[in-house]
Amino acid sequence: MAAQLHRAAFIAGIGISLVSAFNNNARTNVSPPRCRYWGQNSYGATHTSDTANWQQTISHYCQDSNIDAIPIAFLDVAFGAGGLPSIDLANICNINDDPVFPGSELPDCSFLAAGIEQCQAGWRTAGKIVTLSIGGATGAVGFTSDSQAESFATQVWNLFLGGSSSTRPFGAAVLDGVDLDLEGGSQTGWPAFVTQIRTLAAGASKQYYVTGAPQCPFPDAFIGNTLNTVAFDAIYVQFYNNFCGLTNFNNPNDWNFGTWDNWAKTVSPNPSIKIYIGAPASSTAAGSGYVDATTLATIIKSTAAQYSSFGGVMLWDASQAYANNRYDAAVKSALLANVGSAPASVTTTARSTTTTATKPLPTTTTTSAKPTTTSTPSGSCGVVAAWVANVAYTSSRARGPNGGYSGFLWTANQWNFAETPGGPSGAWDNEGPCVSTQATRTVASLTNGPRVSMTPHPSSGRALRFNRE
């Protein structure tokens, strides 16, 4: 599918224009896009008493010229109660502090609609793109078949993008695409999910984007095959929490942007895809990989000079960047100063040699019928992730790990950390044996450094991620 490449994700403030305001490819006269993720209050999770610097509502960041794209993080449950997904936006909107749609665990965050639309306003001049990031380090999102993935894509289209539904979490606001931050589980169905999103978006009155956030080790274990199979507009490679992180830029055996550049030009179905440097916005935003703004500026200059696939910088996350002496502003300055003219390609064209099957593009752009969803019966483990000891839980579900409580579905009745389901603390309610496994997601190994650390939400006990890979 031919599509203009735009930056997707909360890009750290470089204003570019791919074809107008948000331009994933534009590198002439202006710097590449900057993307910053928003939604997880990463700073608040690591600085629980410094409430003044906690994450603000999305409209606060939309007034900032240092940002070009904002992925909202995360949709972290695919098949929840009532057949609806769930989203967790930490201190801004969550299932504990905000109303949910009847019979579901999907919070009504429609109060954010005006702010989202404010971000998108001025699309032809200085507007930003706002996308939905799916997954996250503990996300329960996965499929057992292509048909299930396609149904879920249709549901996402109707709930968040250009379709229609009576249960739209952001009200009338129409997001600009999806971002896949897949950090565990099988890749089954994800190419079909992306293809269905593309199909539904074909001929729409505005551009929709598909981006991904792989970890820097190549190939990524959880999204690599998907990236090879279907066209993405951009990827935000997480150069942190791994041996190939920014701190090893001077070690050619570790730093591997060149590997990703070669993939973009020789393997990706979209040869015009842009590769972003994903960076922690402060030392507390990740377990490893943080470098100061001066060092990052050097890395940006070198990378932009060597690789035409370089698209910009992604920061995790907005709250950390603001609290760290406006790290994002320093990154913008570096991009403006160090990224010069480069060949400008404005369209995304799939390689003619790809064997990926695609569906005929429809002539309509909206879907009024409610999507077909697979409801999870009581006691079904669905896509619920297995319990792990190093994650905090509250009002959330987990599958019992190996042991006497294996094969059962548990729901936390209070905030808890390292409290075994079925253990003496009584922190978990047993919902019965798993009666089906629609899809599964396994929590990723921590062998390459801490992927996620959880702390309770300071006000509600909701678990917050502060390390993102």
Residue 229: count of CB within 10 angstroms of its CB: 19
d(CA 175, CA 53): 26
Who's near 297: CB < 8 A, 6+ residues apart? 330, 331, 333, 334, 337, 338
Question: Catalytic residue among 105, 150, 183, 419, which?
Answer: 183
Amino acid at 9: A
Tokens of 43: 């700073």
Tokens of 404: 């006497």
Question: What's the longest Cα–Cα distance across the chain?
Answer: 63
d(CA 35, CA 32): 10
Please state the φ and ψ torsions of residue 201, each to the nearest 5 degrees: -85, -10
End-to-end CA distance of the chain: 29
Amino acid at 267: V
431 is catalytic: no
- Contact status, residue 150 vs residue 196, Cβ threshold 8 Å: yes
Please state the φ and ψ torsions of residue 357, each to the nearest 5 degrees: -80, 135
d(CA 363, CA 201): 10
DSSP label at 63? T
Who's near 22: CB < 8 A, 6+ residues apart? 6, 7, 16, 33, 68, 69, 123, 127, 128, 129
d(CA 40, CA 419): 23
Who's near 329: CB < 8 A, 6+ residues apart? 13, 66
- 257-266 and 293-306 helices cross at what angle (nearest 10)? 40
Tokens of 290: 């943080």
Tokens of 287: 């377990």
d(CA 358, CA 351): 13
Which residues participate in catalysis according to the annotation? 183
